Structure 1
C-alpha cells in the first residue's frame, strides 16, 4: 500500500498535477482566508511556494518568471522597503515590515513558477470569491435590517458596519465592488444559464448592499469602475448601445439611491457636514472625513521635507506623529490618524522614488496588450486604484493580502500565459 501511494505521488509529480493542485489549494485557501479566516491567508502563500517547488519543469519555468514584469514590479516595492533599512531608525518595525510584506515576493513567484491552473479551475476560484463575498454581504445586510437602530447609529457616526466575518467596512466595501465587476464578467463565461444568472444576480446584490450600507470607499471604487467601463463601451462601435445603457445607469443609480435608500441620503448629508467641520476649523475629533483631511495635510508637510526617498516605511508613523505635535488640527493623540491615501503614503515613506514605483505597479502592466485588453485586469486595477485615493489599503494586512493575491492571480498569471502562447 505504501509503495502504491509513493508511485501514485510520483506520477502526480511527474505529470505536474501535484504542483497544479497545490496551487489550486493555495488559491482556495486564500479566498477562504480573505473572507473568513486570517490563518488561511497566512498559510496560502506558503502552499503556493511549495506548489512552485514541486513543478517538474521548474528549471524551464525560471526564465519565464525572470521575464515576468508584473512579478518584478511588486518585487521592486519590496526592494525599496529593504533599502530603507539603510536610513531607518525604527529597526523593530522595519524587520516586522520585511516579514509582513514577504507576499510581494512569494505570491508572484507561486503564480509564475507553479504549473498553471486550467481555465475551469481559475473560473471556479473566481466564482468562490464572488459568490462568497455576496453571501457575506447578504448576511451583513441582514444583521443591519434585523437591528436597524444599532446600524443607523454606526452609519451616522461614519464608523460603518464591518462584515459578519469581521472584515473592516473599508476593505469589505472594496471587495463588494470587485464582486460587482467579477460577477458580470464571470457570468459571461458561465457554461449554463443557471450559473450565468447566479453570477449576475450576485453582482446586482453586491451593488445593492454597497448602497444600502453606504460603504463610501467601495462606492467610490464602484462608480470609478462603472464610469471607465461606460467610456470604453461608448468609444466602441460594436458595444456603444450597451455604453448608453450604462451611462443612464451611472446617472440614475446615485439619484435613485439618494431618494429611495435613507442610509444613502443620511450619509451624504453627514459627509458634507463632516468636511465642513474641517473647513470651519471646528472640533474634528469625532469626524472621520475631517480627520482624513488633517492626515493628508500632515503627510504632505512631512513629504515636502523628505522629497526623494521619503522617511522610510518603518518611520512613517513616528514622523506623522511628530508633525501632528507641531500642528495638531485640534486632534487628541488618539484621533491622529495615518495617511488614508496609498499614493500619499508611498510619497511619505518612499519619496518620489516610492511613488514612481507604486505607479509602475498600477500602470506598468497596462503597457502590455495582453493585460490591457483583459477586463478582469483593468477592472481590478481601476477598483484598487480608486479605493487607494482615500485609504492606505496596503498598510492593513487583509487588504494587503487581497491586493497581492489578486495581482498574482490576475496579472502575473495572465502575463505568464501570454508568454507561453508566444513561444
Structure 2
C-alpha cells in the first residue's frame, strides 16, 4: 500500500498538468516565445554554474569519468543532458523562424553554441545520443523537405567536427569515451555488472525479459518489480551482488514487467496519442521533445522519477500549447 500511495502521487501530474494546460486560453505567440527563451536562459545559467564547479575541481571531476560518474549537475546529469538538447532544439527553432532580431539573435546563437559545447564537456551518453539524433533529423529535413543541400552539409560537417574538437579539448569527453569502451568490452563478463553501469543495464534487460516470459499479459505489478527482479537475478546471474540489482533501465521494458503486454500497449497509445492527433500539423518542438523522450525511454525508466516525468510531460504540453487553435491569425511563429 505504501508503494501504491507513492506511485499515485508520482503519477498525478499526468492528470493535473493536462487539465491545467487545457483550461488555459491559447497563449499568444509572444508569450510562448518568452517562455521558451526563459527556459534556454535558465538552462544556460545552470550549465555555466556547473562549468564553474568543474573548473574549481578540475582533476577530481576528470577522474570521476573513468569510474562511470560525471560532474555534479542540477537536476541529475541524465535529465539535465536531455534538457540541454531540448534547449538547443528550441533555440534553433526560434532562429529558423526569425523570432529574434539583431543583438538578441546574436545572443541566442552564442548561447546555443555554448550549450552544444557544454553538452560534450558534460559527456552524458543520453544527452549526446539525443543531440546527434536530432542533428541527423535536421539534416534529413533540410534535404528532403527544404531541398537546402548546402545547409544540410553545413550541419553534417558540424556534427562531425564537434566530437573531434571535444575529444581534443575536453578531458571529460575523452575519459567518458575510454570508460564506455571499457564498459562495452566487459559485457560478456557477468560479474562486471557489479562495477560497470553499462554492463549493469544490459543484465537488467536480460533479467526483465525473463520476468516478462512468465508474466506476459498483465505483468507482476509495480510494487513487486523489485522482488521479482531480485529472484530472477539470483537464479540466472548469481555472480551479480544484491547491491547491484537494478530495475530494467528501459521505460518500455519496465512497463511490460509491471503491466504486461496489455499495459505496454495502453501506455504507448496514451503517451503518444497527443502527438498523433495533431498530425500532420507543423510542430517541430513537439516532435523534438517526443524524439528526446523516446530515446531516453530506451536506456532509462524516465517516467518513474519525479524530475523525469516532469521534464517529459511539461515540455510536451508546452509544445502542444502552441498548436491550440486561435481566434485571430498571428504573423509570428507560434512555438509548437
Given that 1:155 and 1:263 are in contact with CA atoms closer than 8 Å, whether structure 2 keeps it comes out as yes
Given that 2:204 and 2:248 are in contact with CA atoms closer than 8 Å, whether structure 1 keeps it comes out as yes
* 1:149 aligned residue: 59
Deviation of the 1:181 alpha carbon: 0.8
* 1:178 aligned residue: 86
CA distance in 2 between counterparts of 1:269 and 1:285 reads: 19
CA distance in 2 between counterparts of 1:339 and 1:420 reads: 46
CA distance in 1 between counterparts of 2:151 and 2:268 reads: 31
Say which of 14, 34, 37 aligns to 1:124.
Answer: 34
Deviation of the 1:368 alpha carbon: 4.1
Deviation of the 1:366 alpha carbon: 4.1
Q: Deviations over 1:156-204 (max 9, x none)?
A: 11121221xx311111111111111112122344343222222222221
Equivalent residues in 2 for 1:228-239, closer than 5 Å: 228-239=137-148
Report the secondary structure of 2:106's partner residue: helix
* 2:221 aligned residue: 312
* 1:196 aligned residue: 105
Say which of 263, 269, 276 aligns to 1:367.
Answer: 276
Indicate the structure (1 or 2) with the bigger Cα radius of gyration.
1
* 2:48 aligned residue: 138
CA distance in 2 between counterparts of 1:154 and 1:395 reads: 26
CA distance in 1 between counterparts of 2:264 and 2:273 reads: 13
* 1:167 aligned residue: 75
Summarize the Cα distance change of 1:95–1:281 in structure 2 as closer, same or farther, 3 Å threshold: closer
Report the secondary structure of 1:317's partner residue: helix
Report the secondary structure of 1:284's partner residue: helix
* 1:12 aligned residue: none
Deviation of the 1:418 alpha carbon: 3.3
Given that 1:372 and 1:378 are in contact with CA atoms closer than 8 Å, whether structure 2 keeps it comes out as no
Check if 1:97 corresponds to 2:4.
Answer: no
Given that 1:371 and 1:414 are in contact with CA atoms closer than 8 Å, whether structure 2 keeps it comes out as no
CA distance in 2 between counterparts of 1:189 and 1:307 reads: 50
Q: Deviations over 1:350-409 (max 9, x none)?
A: 222232233335543443455652111111111111122111111111111111111221
Summarize the Cα distance change of 1:128–1:371 in structure 2 as closer, same or farther, 3 Å threshold: farther
Q: Which deviates more, 249-258 or 293-302?
A: 249-258
Check if 1:273 corresponds to 2:170.
Answer: no
Deviation of the 1:132 alpha carbon: 0.5
CA distance in 2 between counterparts of 1:365 and 1:242 reads: 31
Say which of 307, 312, 325 aligns to 1:418.
Answer: 325
TM-score, normalised relative to structure 1: 0.72
Summarize the Cα distance change of 1:361–1:142 in structure 2 as closer, same or farther, 3 Å threshold: farther
Deviation of the 1:238 alpha carbon: 4.1
CA distance in 1 between counterparts of 2:199 and 2:256 reads: 21
Deviation of the 1:282 alpha carbon: 4.3
Report the secondary structure of 1:283's partner residue: helix
CA distance in 2 between counterparts of 1:421 and 1:221 reads: 36
CA distance in 2 between counterparts of 1:189 and 1:404 reads: 27
Given that 1:182 and 1:203 are in contact with CA atoms closer than 8 Å, whether structure 2 keeps it comes out as no
Given that 1:220 and 1:387 are in contact with CA atoms closer than 8 Å, whether structure 2 keeps it comes out as no
CA distance in 1 between counterparts of 2:155 and 2:28 reads: 32
Number of residues of Structure 1 aligned to a counterpart in Structure 2: 328
* 2:333 aligned residue: none
Given that 2:81 and 2:126 are in contact with CA atoms closer than 8 Å, whether structure 1 keeps it comes out as yes
* 1:245 aligned residue: 154
CA distance in 2 between counterparts of 1:144 and 1:329 reads: 39
Summarize the Cα distance change of 1:360–1:162 in structure 2 as closer, same or farther, 3 Å threshold: farther
- Unaligned runs of 5+ residues in structure 2 are 330-336
Summarize the Cα distance change of 1:406–1:169 in structure 2 as closer, same or farther, 3 Å threshold: same
* 2:318 aligned residue: 409
Given that 1:310 and 1:351 are in contact with CA atoms closer than 8 Å, whether structure 2 keeps it comes out as yes
Q: Deviations over 1:263-315 (max 9, x none)?
A: 22221121111122221334331211111111111111111211222222232
Q: Deviations over 1:196-218 (max 9, x none)?
A: 22222222111111101211111
RMSD: 2.2
CA distance in 2 between counterparts of 1:263 and 1:162 reads: 13
Between 1 and 2, higher relative CO (CA 8 Å, sep ≥ 6) is seen in: 2
